[in-house]
């Protein structure tokens, strides 16, 4: 009994750490309407500054706390609200997730740039000392940081509960989350309330970060997301609380902490240990995400005042003079030929590897295009699928002597099966919850699926040989270029076929509205299983190529942060078109390569660059790069129209519409696909814009 | 006022007034621009040109929450309550700023006595109330807050006639406390039975305004003319 208690007690401060994360996620969601995946990153940032102030600047702990948690954190929250989240419509769930993913990538990368990248040991404790044993309870030593974490967490959670339930400000925050407009009609300054909600949530993040500091013995700015276990537990507890109840989130987090300690007791080591201790939170998390009814309807509560805002401008992708299609197509082909010829001849050797990488990344990114571009669904586990492909190809080659290319196909198939299983599990969920399920899968791959010698090769990694086909040897980087290009083109062909075919139409309908698509008799499940399986398969093949390029590869190459980066990169360059994936792959690889010339602390600039692109998702869902590209297309179209006008030939309807509308706000001319919005092409001020009430 | 939604122009030189203590009916077919008038008046949609005056004060560029604090209430089309909050919290939200924290409890009790339906459902989530109960909840918040002007947008929409009667009783009670009303309706007879003045909107412009007795005839004429755009 006392041994059991000996495990339960240390489980409590552990649970408190989880609770800080879980309660933070829930309170942010309830007061701002954003499921802030970057909460942990914000916490880390505040903790980092706190540590800096105490140790480098020699400030007393309380002063550092005031500066970092009570002043800097809310300031960051206000900035986030002002420049990011206040511009996203309450109902635009995808934009909110993408923005938080962008932040999750940008914030940790900013830290080493600002403060240097050397790791620091034994970070300071906020209140009581970690090394000091405060008292013994049933024979278990309780140290200072455990006491301070528990006490402060309890206090903070109680205060938040009271605040949300009883204070007028808490009530207003909950109202503003549901509808800014409706709140305004009640005399509430919605903008101010939303800003204070962000400030509050950020203070909470700062507090969590500072309390969690003693947990990590080393504070490493270049690898800041070492809190994976924390994220998993926080997600699980928040999901158990249905993202609603702070009390339940707290209780669930404590329960998880204790359960993990108790599992440690019964399965101290061996295979059962890994299976139970590591898998346990995931079983709970996935079960809750898939099974909970109230989570399923989460975020589907429409803003009753949504009708006030004009519809967002259609993505500017649709504006393109058809006469540009042919030159574009041939230009693209010429570019490929030029690329191959240059890659094989004059390009210096050290430049060939980034080009190889660009093609391989393009292949993997195609999987993102397929899933996000076509169905509008965000998947945060594409790197895990890539890992499955890479490890399968490597292990099959090592143990069964399977040729690598065959291994890549098998690996792709294995990833496809996993993708299909994921889609089947997710049969009844969508939106945010589906995204979280993919994140759970990615975290699961990180924490244990890839940690075995038969999968991720634990420690040494897995070597994936370069393919050799009879007399054709792809060992050299230049030869590999040709192979990577062929694989990429095959995958492009596959994606293009899917997008043009029936499944593609189904997916496009799903992107508009899932219930709407279902009511048309579209079998959503089949469409979704198809797209998840194909996307995972392509990622798997791309992953195998990646492994072959950079062999040996370990689980580190496919962690969840990489998945997040993939999504962010593709969204920035454009997820709606196949070209977007190629643009993303090439630019990612090349920019990354260019930054190897910069000092090491600036390595993080590549992801930051793309993360900032993703932060514009609400304004430009078609992607920043695609947006700029189509602006240039517009100019060319307008020029063409003018030339036509001078020649006296009738300009095409499209060019006229485009020219007449002047593009400024990204407003589409007469070319909107399927002719949908009634406002297209009606210039301001014409009464023809008013629809006949009888018509 | 003139107004548009991005490139789509919705209102064309709409002009009328709602004198203190009167009831004005704003009539028009679906899509005529009635809701847009209400939105511009309460600051939800910015007027592209023109002026909105409340008690002689120019509020054209004033933020919506400030206009609301001046005693102008907009009961929007459809669901006008917070579905995630319960009845009590909805009332508290509507009343606290208007009657002050000290008088909040009394005001809420008065609202519950006037509308016993709500008292029985104090702790029910507003999203689970019936359409009629939701309208009553909106009106209860308005009634106790001593409004100057209430803009009620299609309160009868989607309700059974008996329920509409109840909702209109609420409106009359609000008027009896001295508020001016702008009643936006498609159900012409309901609004006209109450109104002291009628404004007929067609295709985003005022087609006619005058005494409610003549409104019927004007509407028939408008229909017969096939809603020709006003010249
Ligand atoms: N958010 C919006 N974006 C674009 N057009 C809108 C929006 N809201 C209303 N409209 C258009 O403005 C016109 C007037 O709408 P509205 O004021 O809602 O009419 P009513 O309330 O009389 O039915 C309609 O043609 C409608 O389609
Ligand atoms: Mg209307």
A695 CB near a chain B CB, below 8 Å? no
Q: Is the CB of A427 within 6 Å of ligand 1?
A: no
Is the Cβ pair B65, A189 closer than 8 Å? yes
Cβ neighbours for B161, distance < 8 A, ≥ 6 positions apart: none
For residue A235 the two structure tokens come to 């997600």
Element (H, E) at A143: strand A140-143
In percent, how much of chain B has pLDDT > 70?
A: 97
What integer is the mean pLDDT of A142-146?
A: 77
B10 contacts in chain A (CB < 8 Å): 690
3-class SS of residue A164? helix
Distance of CA B158 to the CA centre of its chain: 16
> Does residue B13 fall inside a structural domain?
yes
What integer is the mean pLDDT of B13-36?
A: 93
A182 CB near a chain B CB, below 8 Å? yes
Q: A125 falls in which pLDDT band (50, 70, 90)? A: confident
Residue A304 predicted with pLDDT over 70 = yes
What integer is the mean pLDDT of A457-461?
A: 80
First to last CA, chain B: 17
- Choose the residue to mutate in B11, B26, B33 for probing ligand 1, maximizing ligand atoms within 8 Å of C-beta: B33
Phi-psi region of A592 (alpha: psi -120 to 50; beta: other; left: phi over 0): alpha
For residue A497 the two structure tokens come to 């076929």
Q: A633 falls in which pLDDT band (50, 70, 90)? A: confident
Q: A626 falls in which pLDDT band (50, 70, 90)? A: confident
Is the Cβ pair A694, B45 closer than 8 Å? no
CB burial of residue B31 (10 Å; 0-12, 13-18, 19+): middle
What is the predicted pLDDT for the residue at A609?
A: 85
- Closest CA of chain A from B151, distance in Å: 11
In percent, how much of chain A has pLDDT > 70?
A: 86
Mutate to test the interface with A, among B8, B89, B97, B207 (most CBs of A within 10 A): B8
Distance CA A644, CA A641 (A): 5
> Higher model confidence: residue A501 or residue A46?
A46
**In 3-state terms, chain B is what percent helix, strand and coil (to 5)?**
40, 20, 35
Residue B84 predicted with pLDDT over 70 = yes
Closest in A187, A189, A307 to B98, CB measured: A187
What is the predicted pLDDT for the residue at A658?
A: 36
Q: Is the CB of B34 within 6 Å of ligand 1?
A: yes
Distance CA A568, CA A92 (A): 17
What is the predicted pLDDT for the residue at A458?
A: 76
Instruction: Assign residue B198 the CATH number of its domain.
Output: 3.40.50.300
What is the predicted pLDDT for the residue at A232?
A: 87
> Which of B97, B116, B95 lies closest to B106 in space, CA to CA?
B95
Q: A216 falls in which pLDDT band (50, 70, 90)? A: low
- The CATH number given to A316-331+360-625 is 1.10.3470
Residue A453 predicted with pLDDT over 80 = yes
> Higher model confidence: residue A513 or residue B212?
B212
What integer is the mean pLDDT of A260-277?
A: 77
What integer is the mean pLDDT of A254-272?
A: 82
Residue B197 predicted with pLDDT over 60 = yes
Q: A314 falls in which pLDDT band (50, 70, 90)? A: low
What is the predicted pLDDT for the residue at A512?
A: 67
Residue A652 predicted with pLDDT over 60 = no
Q: What's the alpha-carbon Rg for chain B, to the nearest Å?
A: 18
The predicted model scores a pTM of 0.86
Residue A316 predicted with pLDDT over 80 = no
Pick from A46-55, A267-276, A350-359: least confident: A267-276
CA distances, B160 to each of A287, A516, B30, B173, B174 (Å): 43, 28, 19, 20, 21
Contact A447, A228 (CB under 8 A): yes
Residue range of the domain that includes B22: 3-80+148-224
What integer is the mean pLDDT of A9-14?
A: 80
What integer is the mean pLDDT of A588-613?
A: 85
Other Cβ atoms within 10 Å of A381 Cβ, number: 30
- Which residues, listed in sequence order, are joined to residue B75 by a DSSP beta bridge? B152
Distance of CA B32 to the CA centre of its chain: 16
> Does residue B136 fall inside a structural domain?
no
**Most confidently modeled range among A371-380, A498-507, A643-652:** A371-380
What integer is the mean pLDDT of B202-223?
A: 88
What is the predicted pLDDT for the residue at A668?
A: 32
Residue A7 predicted with pLDDT over 50 = yes
What is the predicted pLDDT for the residue at A678?
A: 32
**Most confidently modeled range among A348-362, A612-626, B214-228:** A348-362
B63 contacts in chain A (CB < 8 Å): 184, 189
> Higher model confidence: residue A119 or residue A566?
A566
A661 contacts in chain B (CB < 8 Å): 7
> Which of A594, A666, A99, A626 lies closest to A369 in space, CA to CA?
A626
What is the predicted pLDDT for the residue at A670?
A: 33
Contact A276, A267 (CB under 8 A): yes
Q: A343 falls in which pLDDT band (50, 70, 90)? A: confident
Give the nearest ligand 1 atom to B154 CA. 21
Q: What's the alpha-carbon Rg for chain A, to the nearest Å?
A: 27
Please report which ligand is nearest the Cα atom of B154: 2
What integer is the mean pLDDT of A397-408?
A: 92
Distance of CA A471 to the CA centre of its chain: 43
> Does residue B176 fall inside a structural domain?
yes
Q: A117 falls in which pLDDT band (50, 70, 90)? A: low
Residue B153 alpha carbon to ligand 2 centre in Å: 7
For residue A53 the two structure tokens come to 């102030």
Is the Cβ pair A175, B82 closer than 8 Å? yes
The whole-chain average pLDDT of chain A stands at 82
CA distances, B56 to each of A284, A327, B18, B177 (Å): 62, 62, 12, 21
> Does residue B141 fall inside a structural domain?
no
Q: Is the CB of A306 within 6 Å of ligand 1?
A: no
* pLDDT tens, position by position, B130-149: 999 999 999 999 998 889 99
What is the predicted pLDDT for the residue at A267?
A: 79
Contact A387, A542 (CB under 8 A): no
What is the predicted pLDDT for the residue at A615?
A: 87
- Which residues, listed in sequence order, are joined to residue B184 by a DSSP beta bridge? B26, B153
> Does residue B155 fall inside a structural domain?
yes
- Which residues, listed in sequence order, are joined to residue B26 by a DSSP beta bridge? B184, B199
Please report the ipTM that was assigned to this predicted complex.
0.94
B175 CB near a chain A CB, below 8 Å? no
Residue A294 predicted with pLDDT over 80 = yes
CB burial of residue A128 (10 Å; 0-12, 13-18, 19+): middle
Spans of all domains in chain A: 2-266, 316-331+360-625
Q: Whose CA is nearest to atom 25 of ligand 1?
A: B31
Q: A688 falls in which pLDDT band (50, 70, 90)? A: very low
DSSP 8-state secondary structure symbol assigned to residue A88: S
- Closest CA of chain A from B142, distance in Å: 9
> Does residue B120 fall inside a structural domain?
no
3-class SS of residue B120? coil
What integer is the mean pLDDT of A457-481?
A: 86
CA distances, A547 to each of A370, A449, A658, A674 (Å): 22, 17, 46, 43
What integer is the mean pLDDT of B109-133?
A: 92
What is the predicted pLDDT for the residue at A211?
A: 86
What integer is the mean pLDDT of A131-157?
A: 79
What integer is the mean pLDDT of B66-90?
A: 92
What is the predicted pLDDT for the residue at A198?
A: 94
Distance CA A434, CA A436 (A): 5
For residue A509 the two structure tokens come to 């309908």
Residue A680 predicted with pLDDT over 60 = no
What is the predicted pLDDT for the residue at A650?
A: 44
What is the predicted pLDDT for the residue at A342?
A: 86
Residue A431 predicted with pLDDT over 80 = yes
Q: A93 falls in which pLDDT band (50, 70, 90)? A: confident
* pLDDT tens, position by position, A471-525: 888 888 888 999 999 999 999 999 888 888 877 777 777 776 767 777 776 777 8
Q: B124 falls in which pLDDT band (50, 70, 90)? A: very high
DSSP H helices, A125-245, are 144-166, 168-178, 180-185, 190-212, 228-240
């Amino acid at each position: 009994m006392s041994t059991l208690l000996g495990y339960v007690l240390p489980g409590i401060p552990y649970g408190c750490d989880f609770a800080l994360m879980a309660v933070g996620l829930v309170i942010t969601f309830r007061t701002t309407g954003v499921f802030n995946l970057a909460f942990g990153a914000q916490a880390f940032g505040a903790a980092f500054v706190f540590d800096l102030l105490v140790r480098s600047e020699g400030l007393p702990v309380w002063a550092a706390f005031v500066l970092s948690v009570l002043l800097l954190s809310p300031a960051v929250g206000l900035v986030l609200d002002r420049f990011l989240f206040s511009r996203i419509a309450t109902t635009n769930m995808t934009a909110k997730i993408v923005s938080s993913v962008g932040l999750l990538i940008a914030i940790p990368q900013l830290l080493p740039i600002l403060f240097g990248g050397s790791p620091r040991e034994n970070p300071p404790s906020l209140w009581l000392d970690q090394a000091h044993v405060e008292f013994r309870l049933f024979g278990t030593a309780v140290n200072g940081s455990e006491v301070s974490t528990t006490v402060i967490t309890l206090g903070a959670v109680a205060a938040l509960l009271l605040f949300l339930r009883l204070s007028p400000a808490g009530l207003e925050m909950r109202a503003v989350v549901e509808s800014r407009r409706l709140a305004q009609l009640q005399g509430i300054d919605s903008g101010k309330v939303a800003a204070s909600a962000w400030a509050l949530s950020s203070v909470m993040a700062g507090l969590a970060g500072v309390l969690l500091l003693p947990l990590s013995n080393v504070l490493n700015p270049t690898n800041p997301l070492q809190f994976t276990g924390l994220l998993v537990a926080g997600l699980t507890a928040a999901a158990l609380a249905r993202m609603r109840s702070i009390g339940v989130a707290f209780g669930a987090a404590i329960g998880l902490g204790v359960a993990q300690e108790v599992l440690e007791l019964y399965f101290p080591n061996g295979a059962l240990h890994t299976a139970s201790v590591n898998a346990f939170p995931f079983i709970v998390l996935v079960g809750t995400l898939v099974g909970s009814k109230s989570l399923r309807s989460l975020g589907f509560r429409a803003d009753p005042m949504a009708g006030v805002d004009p519809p967002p401008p259609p993505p500017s992708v649709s504006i393109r003079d058809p006469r540009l299609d042919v030159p574009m197509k041939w230009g693209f082909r010429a570019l490929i030929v030029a690329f191959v010829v240059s890659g094989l001849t004059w390009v210096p050797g050290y430049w060939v590897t980034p080009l190889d990488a660009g093609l391989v990344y393009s292949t993997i990114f195609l999987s993102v295009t397929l899933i996000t571009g076509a169905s509008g669904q965000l998947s945060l586990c594409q790197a895990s699928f890539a890992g499955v492909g890479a490890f399968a190809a490597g292990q099959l080659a090592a143990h069964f002597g399977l040729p690598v290319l065959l291994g890549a196909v098998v690996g792709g198939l294995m990833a496809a099966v996993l993708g299909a299983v994921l889609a089947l599990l997710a049969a009844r969920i969508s939106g945010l919850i589906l995204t979280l399920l993919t994140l759970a899968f990615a975290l699961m791959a990180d924490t244990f699926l890839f940690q075995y010698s038969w999968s991720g090769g634990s420690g040494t990694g897995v070597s994936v040989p370069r393919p050799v086909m009879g007399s054709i040897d792809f060992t050299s980087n230049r030869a590999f270029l040709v192979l990577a290009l062929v694989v990429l083109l095959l995958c492009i062909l596959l994606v293009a076929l899917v997008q043009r075919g029936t499944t593609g139409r189904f997916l496009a309908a799903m992107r508009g509205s899932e219930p709407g698509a279902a009511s048309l008799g579209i079998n959503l499940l089949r469409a979704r299983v198809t797209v998840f399986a194909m996307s995972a398969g392509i990622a798997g093949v791309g992953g195998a190529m990646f492994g072959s390029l950079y062999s040996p590869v370990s689980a580190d190459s496919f962690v969840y942060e990489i998945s997040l980066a993939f999504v962010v990169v593709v969204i920035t360059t454009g997820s709606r078109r196949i070209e977007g994936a190629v643009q993303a792959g090439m630019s990612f690889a090349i920019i990354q390569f260019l930054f190897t010339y910069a000092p090491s602390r600036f390595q993080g600039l590549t992801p930051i660059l793309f993360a900032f692109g993703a932060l514009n998702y609400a304004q430009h869902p078609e992607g920043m790069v695609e947006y700029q590209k189509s602006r240039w297309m517009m100019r060319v179209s307008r020029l063409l129209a003018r030339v036509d006008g001078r020649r006296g030939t009738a300009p095409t309807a499209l060019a006229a519409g485009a020219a007449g509308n002047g593009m400024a706000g990204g407003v589409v001319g007469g070319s909107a696909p399927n002719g949908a919005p009634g406002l297209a092409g009606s210039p301001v001020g014409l009464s023809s814009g008013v629809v006949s009430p009888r018509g | 006022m003139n107004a548009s939604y991005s490139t789509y122009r919705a209102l064309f030189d709409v002009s009328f007034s709602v004198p203190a203590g009167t009831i004005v009916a704003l009539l028009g077919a679906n899509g005529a621009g009635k809701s847009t008038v209400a939105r511009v008046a309460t600051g939800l949609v910015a007027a592209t040109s023109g002026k909105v005056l409340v008690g002689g004060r120019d509020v054209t560029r004033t933020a919506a929450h400030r206009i609301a604090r001046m005693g102008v209430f907009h009961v929007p089309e459809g669901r006008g309550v917070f579905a995630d909050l319960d009845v009590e919290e909805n009332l508290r939200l509507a009343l606290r700023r208007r009657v002050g924290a000290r008088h909040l409890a009394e005001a809420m009790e008065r609202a519950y006595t006037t509308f016993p339906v709500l008292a029985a459902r104090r702790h029910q989530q507003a999203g689970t109330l019936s359409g009629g109960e939701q309208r009553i909840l909106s009106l209860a918040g308005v009634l106790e807050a001593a409004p100057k002007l209430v803009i009620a947008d299609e309160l009868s929409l989607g309700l059974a006639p008996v329920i509409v009667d109840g909702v209109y009783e609420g409106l009359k009670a609000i008027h009896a406390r001295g508020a001016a009303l702008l009643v936006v309706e498609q159900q012409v007879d309901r609004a006209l039975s109450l109104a002291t003045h009628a404004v007929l909107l067609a295709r985003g412009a005022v087609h006619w305004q005058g005494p409610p007795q003549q409104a019927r005839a004007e509407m028939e004429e408008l229909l017969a003319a096939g809603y020709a755009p006003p010249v």
